[in-house]
Amino acid sequence: MEQTAQITKDTLIGDILDLAPDSAEFFLAMGMYCLGCPASRGETLEQACMVHAVDVNEMVQQLNEHLASASKK
């Protein structure tokens, strides 16, 4: 059984998008519209959440749940 990758607050936005391109919807929902920008891809999830006033722990949970459900399909 393959283990699903785990996202943490220190995971880079670019790595999350490479792992699960459809996770862009979570970033767009929090107002992060600059996903194609090289600077945003190099930010950690925690940095992006801080700038956009989003709870990083909640976002980590949502993204990990999304990855887990996607890996079951």
- CATH number, domain containing residue 55: 1.10.3910
Write out the chain's pLDDT in tens, 73 residues.
455 689 999 999 999 999 999 999 999 998 888 887 888 889 999 999 999 999 999 999 999 999 998 877 6
The DSSP secondary structure of 17-44, one letter per residue, reads HHH-GGGHHHHHHTT---TTSHHHHTSB
Within-domain flag for 48: yes
Going by C-alpha positions, the residue among 10, 15, 14, 3 that lies closest to residue 71 is: 3
Tokens of 21: 């391109």
Q: Show the domain range for 45.
A: 13-71
Is 3 contained in some domain? no
Does a structural domain hold residue 31? yes
- Would you say residue 17 lies in a domain? yes
The count of structural domains within the chain is: 1
